[in-house]
Structure 1
Amino acid sequence: MMSELIGDFPRQFISLSVLIMVIFMFNMNAADDTTPTPNKKLEVKVYYETLCPDSIRFIRNQLLPVMTEKNRLNFTDLKFVPFGHVVSYKDRNTNETVMRCQHGRNECELNAQHACVIENNSEREAFDMVTCMMSGYNKKLNKCATKFGINVDAAKSCKESKSTENILEKYGVDTYSVNPSFIPTITIDGIFNWNEQDEILQDLDAVFCRRYENKYNVKLDGCY
């Protein structure tokens, strides 16, 4: 009788151990559902122009402090689209694309410079460079690169080796698909909501918090 009990003990112990492990894993998964992690990101896409006062104001006064001071960048898939209001057409004589930017040719060149930075640097590096150049150093690529210790050689090569129109073409396609009537325009989670635009421009964090919580059922620190 004693030997039978002893013989059954390992099987009972193993069964109990498995049950405890299953319960533990279930609780861990349940906790993960309501825990903010860098893997749970919300896409924020900023359609802007490099010489647009409203774009400069939004990036400097809303995007930069929200992403850094409120630590939203870790939870954001941030994308920049430097194009804005551009008239684009084919030249009948040369069959080449011609672009006329809202604030002149210099803006087209700066848009292309931003695009090359965005394409040839990491997301964080692009964020630092764009926000720096839009905060008073519009033409100071090297100054911003030095400030953050970022290598922009590939971005420079991109700008020098391609035409401005060629660099900006895909950003134009993206912008025209949204067809913004105002710049900057911001889409969140791939959705353009006209009714949210004014609020985003005035209080980006409030909208970000709301949309993040709606998607992931998670309230980030500092959100109300």
Structure 2
Amino acid sequence: MNVPLLFLLACILHFNSKCSATILPSSCPYPPSQWCSTLDSAVQCGVLKHCLHANLTKWHHAGEPVQIEVYYETLCPDCIMFVTQVLYPTWVLLQDILSVHLVPFGNAQEAPSGSKYIFKCQHGEQECLGNIIQTCLLNMSDNAFLIIFCMEASTDVIAAAKSCVHLYSPELSWERLMSCVNGDLGNQLMHQNAVKTNTLDPPHQFVPWVTINGEHTDDLQKKAIKSLFPLICSKYKGIKPVICGEGGHRDLRI
């Protein structure tokens, strides 16, 4: 699987903000998430052709989406690479047959403190902050995955959070998000992530740790990291989308 090509395809089909410098006219007043929302916005932003193509490539399938769970840490370099260069592009291309579940915790540790929990993270306090921000996002926004990708693809994951939230979920105020992060809700949500991570069977040994349809094996982990796109195509039981290629194992390498 050629990751750069997957990333490029995802950029074109989903109009990610990192592409905007090259395909977005200066006259476009809309954020990327709204480029295809109306005919006027598509024309004004110069992406009508891409919007039509994206709509034409949508496929109606009979079958349950493939479930992928990713146990990760927000500042882990391997996790950042997997989320931004493998998972996100694959989801953009196969989102009709793929359901993504993110669990930010990884190798962190928790200890009870009264009615709350204290967390210690592998990459320090900033990672604990990133973990809880993304945990609250997953609980509060339908666009959480887009925001998390935006954060993880940035030079400074934590500093990018506010602008990423504004870009992909403008209806969610930063103050409301921080209320979750600093309050009882965020603490309890992080505890749930800790329980879920620490009760994995088999136990996780590193991050990112991937399960497919609730299952983890060494073989599935290797395939998920190296060739997630064909793995999802092969695991889907319904009619495979055209982009999977014949037999669902299309190779996008050039």
TM score, norm. by length of structure 1: 0.73
Equivalent runs, 1:22-171 vs 2, <5 Å: 36-37=60-61, 40-68=64-92, 71-90=93-112, 97-122=117-142, 125-136=143-154, 137-139=156-158, 140-153=160-173, 154-162=176-184, 165-171=187-193
SS in 2 for 1:200: helix
**Which residue is 1:219 aligned to?**
240
Larger radius of gyration: 1
Q: Deviations over 1:26-66 (max 9, x none)?
A: xxxxxxxxx84286312111111000000000011101111
Amino acid at match of 2:91: M
Report the secondary structure of 1:222's partner residue.
Answer: helix
Q: Tell me, in whole angstroms, the C-alpha distance in 2 between the residues paired with 1:54 and 1:172.
A: 20
Hey, what's the Cα distance between the residues in 2 that align with 1:132 and 1:118? 14
Instruction: State how far apart, in whole Å, the 2-side matches of 1:190 and 1:79 are.
Output: 11
Given that 1:117 and 1:126 are in contact with CA atoms closer than 8 Å, whether structure 2 keeps it comes out as yes
Residues 96 and 78 from structure 1, CA distance in 2 versus in 1: closer, same or farther, beyond 3 angstroms? closer
State the number of aligned residues: 181
C-alpha deviations, 1:180-200, integer Å up to 9, x for none? 111001111111222221221
Supply the AA of the counterpart residue of 1:50: T
Query: For 1:186 and 1:60, how far apart are their aligned partners in 2?
Result: 15
Aligned residue identity for 1:83: F
Aligned mates of 1:150, 1:211 — CA distance in 2: 35
Contact 2:137–2:177 (8 Å) recurs in 1: yes
Aligned partner of 1:209 in structure 2 is 233
Q: Which amino acid aligns with 1:222?
A: I
Q: Is the 8 A contact 1:83 1:172 kept in 2?
A: yes
* More helix, by proportion: 1
